A = this chain, B = another copy of it.
Amino acid sequence: MKDTQLPEDSTSWSQDMVRSTLPERTQDGHKGTFGTALLVAGGPDMPGAALISGLGALTSGVGKLEIGTYRETIQSIAHAVPEATYVPDALVQIANGSHSLTSYKAIACGPGTAPDALTEAAIDKLLKAPHPLMLDAGALSARSYAKRSAPLILTPHAGEFSRISGYSIEQITESPGACASAFAEKHDLTIVLKGPRTTIAFPDGERFQNPTGNAALAKGGTGDMLTGMMLGMLCCHDNWRHAVLNAVHLHGACADEFIKTRSPHTMLAHDIAGLLPEVWKHYE
């Protein structure tokens, strides 16, 4: 874990905090107890994003997972995420209201999806649903946010945050915490501003910084894994803030475990799913 001075007075979401907030897996629970998550992800040229985020959700405590994606992506990835079931043409079905959202416990949208009108139309519907909602990657755009009853969590990296907030990359680099909190409070949502030291800014001004992670994560796909892990955590945590914080912390902790015996240049995003079971155990 990094021991650098925290800028802008953010609190570090420490190992002890994780330890004391991780949920037990209720001994008598069944898959319904932990809930069904919907993951809208993947596209023709980015099928892997659905696979990686799907793996992330399934290894992070979800009860059941439905992956909404394109038919050809289902065909391509289903055997690699066999525990999931699939919603074909999900963006279209969600946008036109033909896919009911009532049964979900949490929803995430964005990894590998194109930032186009169809995605926007689907997000309009998702924003109106009464579930914790995460938007990432292709689902991050400059838009307005109506008041909603359940948590809304955006997970941009600096470039994406600049695009949706209007802050310049320079402003964000200089004062990540201040920018994230200002945006979070203004729009009444949570910003997970990803980077070497990820900042988590809640809508009421509470803010944390993540102490784990390293440059092994600086490679395509690691953000997709985080989205999936956070979606899974939202299903097994009672407290959604703990879910968000613990997902970011454990994601980085897996990368820290990786580089103990392996070069940081060589990690693949999906390696994280293989490391998570033992890393998580160390916190229990």
Contact = CB atoms under 8 A, between A and B. Distances in A.
A46 interface: yes
A157 B277 CA distance: 26
A87 B284 CA distance: 43
B195 A30 contact: yes
A75 B72 contact: yes
Interface string A225-243: 0000000100010000000
Interface in A206-248: 214-216, 218-222, 232, 236
A25 B218 contact: yes
Given A236-B265, A265-B280, A220 B25 contact: no
A51 interface: yes
Given A278-B262, A281-B261, A77 B75 contact: no
A116 to B, nearest CB: 16
Given A75-B75, A79-B48, A79-B80, A261 B278 contact: yes
Interface string A144-160: 00000000000001110
How many copies of this kind of chain does the complex include?
4
Contacts of A81: 48
A59 B268 contact: yes
A23 B27 CA distance: 31
Contact of A62 (B60, B61, B219, B261): B219
A171 interface: no
A140 interface: no
Interface string A47-70: 111011000001111111100000
A211 B167 CA distance: 52
A92 interface: no
A264 interface: yes
A126 interface: no
A267 interface: yes
A139 interface: no
A196 interface: yes
Interface of A: 23, 25-34, 44-49, 51-52, 58-65, 72, 74-88, 112, 157-159, 195-196, 214-216, 218-222, 232, 236, 258, 261-270, 276-278, 280-281, 284
24 contacts: A26-B218, A29-B196, A31-B219, A31-B220, A45-B74, A45-B86, A45-B88, A46-B86, A47-B78, A47-B79, A48-B82, A48-B83, A51-B79, A79-B79, A79-B80, A80-B82, A83-B221, A83-B268, A236-B265, A261-B278, A262-B278, A262-B281, A266-B280, A267-B277
Given A25-B216, A33-B218, 20 more contacts: A23-B265, A25-B263, A25-B264, A25-B265, A29-B215, A30-B158, A47-B86, A48-B83, A48-B85, A59-B265, A61-B265, A62-B220, A75-B76, A80-B82, A83-B268, A232-B265, A261-B281, A262-B278, A263-B284, A266-B277
